[in-house]
């Protein structure tokens, strides 16, 4: 079997370190493990591939020049012709799988014209994001592209219920939308669990992993940690990652006298995450209230795979993934007082933390591995025969478990 994986989004370095980059790499990796040949068509490469992906054939699509927004949009549209030529010149594929990007429509058109399945993965309402955060000149044209690819795809993958709802605002697509959330390779975290169990830290370390964006709720975390640290001086804060909020975060921590008990790792490569998570006592995802929370946060899946007790906001997909008091603890979004109280509860009850962490890892192993996700995608494409034995279950659109498996 040959699969063409397309990522025409210039904001995604396919061999980079962002959560979206890891998503691309892990799906490809899982298919390779099944003996499937995957060829990657990408606009932005982002560096050298990991050693186990070094043999993947990569077709570079035209880069999108920096500069005026309108010119960038036209360049991205023009790249559809290059993609079509690249697909036609590289033999016969059995499946086209594309990560939805704002201006790319050729992948699904090509699949339909060839009579093969075309699966479109949608991770965000990109038109709304672009218009709000980066600027969008040809909005009507972007809507037309979205309607075209949503209509042409034989199946659409949404990473959350919220994204499914968004996609279904477009006519004629509802019966072809499947929810498959993010996943994890739990074996990556086996050694980190062993390391964590072998040490008995004298400090209580609250950890966060992310790109330090405004919607991550970092000010809420700082306020909650300040409350906790005033009561228990052996508490520490570990911030993993880098991003636009770092300076604000440093300023706030300094004003509260917390810099000396806070460690910033800066940006780290994915292979370093397991050993860093092993240094945490509890991991947090303190999102503020957001009416459009559509994410499938990779960080939370990795927290859980590492066997950590997780404290997260009761919001969006997280309130489905985390069963409160069973495999994690949930707090009202934006509530620093509740977050501090929950962290204090875990400070006093390490046994509860161990129980929650164990249940969290079991949740990942049973329902959210990349291997099972890859097989689920083949099932949706009608190509699972020979690949679907011993497949794990996954959470479907309403949280129900399907016959196989189930995002920043």
Domains of the chain: 2-183+369-402 (3.40.50.2000), 186-366 (3.40.50.2000)
* CA 226 – CA 220 distance, rounded (Å): 10
176-198: pLDDT as tens digits: 999 999 999 998 888 656 555 44
pTM for the full predicted model: 0.86
**Is 218 within 8 Å of 212 (Cβ atoms)?**
yes
Distances (CA, A) of 124 to 53, 108, 334, 356, 373: 26, 18, 22, 30, 19
Q: Which of 319, 311, 316 is nearest to 293 (CA)?
A: 316
Question: What's the pLDDT score for residue 385?
Answer: 82
Question: What's the pLDDT score for residue 397?
Answer: 33
Q: What tokens does 341 get?
A: 């109280």
Question: What's the pLDDT score for residue 52?
Answer: 94
State percent of the chain over pLDDT 90.
80
Question: What's the pLDDT score for residue 84?
Answer: 97
Question: What's the pLDDT score for residue 271?
Answer: 87
* CA 7 – CA 41 distance, rounded (Å): 6
Strands 394-395 and 401-402: antiparallel
Residues of the chain with pLDDT under 50: 197-199, 389-408
Q: E strand or H helix at 239, and its extent?
A: strand 235-240
* CA 252 – CA 249 distance, rounded (Å): 5
* CA 118 – CA 99 distance, rounded (Å): 11
Q: Is 267 helix (H, G, I), strand (E, B) or coil?
A: coil
Question: What's the pLDDT score for residue 242?
Answer: 93
**Is 381 within 8 Å of 119 (Cβ atoms)?**
yes
Question: What's the pLDDT score for residue 392?
Answer: 42
């Amino acid at each position: 079997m040959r699969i063409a994986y397309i990522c025409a989004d210039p904001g995604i370095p396919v061999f980079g370190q962002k959560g979206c980059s890891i998503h691309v790499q892990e799906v490809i990796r899982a298919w390779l493990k099944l003996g499937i040949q995957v060829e990657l068509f990408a606009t932005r490469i982002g560096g050298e591939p990991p050693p186990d992906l070094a043999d993947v054939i990569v077709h570079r699509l035209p880069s999108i020049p920096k500069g005026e927004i309108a010119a960038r949009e036209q360049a991205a549209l023009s790249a559809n012709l290059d993609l079509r030529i690249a697909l036609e010149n590289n033999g016969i594929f059995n499946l086209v799988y594309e990560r939805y990007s704002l201006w790319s429509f050729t992948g699904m058109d090509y699949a339909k014209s060839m009579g093969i399945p075309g699966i479109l993965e949608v991770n965000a309402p990109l038109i709304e994001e672009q218009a709000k955060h980066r600027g969008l000149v040809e909005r009507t044209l972007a809507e037309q592209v979205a309607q075209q690819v949503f209509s042409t795809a034989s199946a659409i993958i949404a990473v959350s219920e919220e994204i499914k709802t968004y996609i279904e605002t477009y006519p004629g697509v509802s019966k072809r939308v499947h929810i498959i959330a993010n996943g994890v390779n739990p074996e990556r975290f086996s050694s980190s669990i062993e390391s964590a169990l072998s040490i008995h830290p004298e400090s209580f370390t609250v950890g966060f992993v992310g790109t330090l964006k405004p919607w991550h709720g970092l000010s809420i975390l700082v306020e909650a940690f300040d409350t906790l640290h005033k009561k228990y001086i052996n508490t520490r804060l570990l911030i993993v990652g880098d991003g636009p909020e770092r300076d604000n975060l440093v300023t706030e921590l300094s004003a509260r006298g917390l810099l000396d008990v806070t460690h910033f790792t800066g940006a780290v490569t994915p292979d370093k995450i397991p050993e860093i998570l092993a240094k945490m006592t509890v991991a947090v995802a303190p999102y503020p209230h957001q009416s459009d929370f559509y994410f499938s946060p990779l960080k939370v899946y990795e927290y859980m795979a590492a066997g950590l007790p997780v404290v997260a906001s009761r919001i969006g997909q997280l309130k489905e993934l985390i069963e409160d008091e069973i495999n994690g603890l949930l707090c009202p979004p934006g509530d620093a007082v509740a977050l501090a109280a929950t962290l204090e509860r875990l400070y006093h009850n390490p046994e509860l933390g161990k129980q929650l962490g164990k249940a969290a890892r079991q949740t990942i192993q049973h329902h959210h591995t990349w291997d099972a996700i890859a097989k689920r995608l083949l099932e949706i494409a009608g190509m699972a025969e020979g690949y679907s034995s011993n497949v794990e279950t996954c959470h479907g659109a309403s949280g129900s478990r399907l016959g196989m498996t189930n995002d920043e």
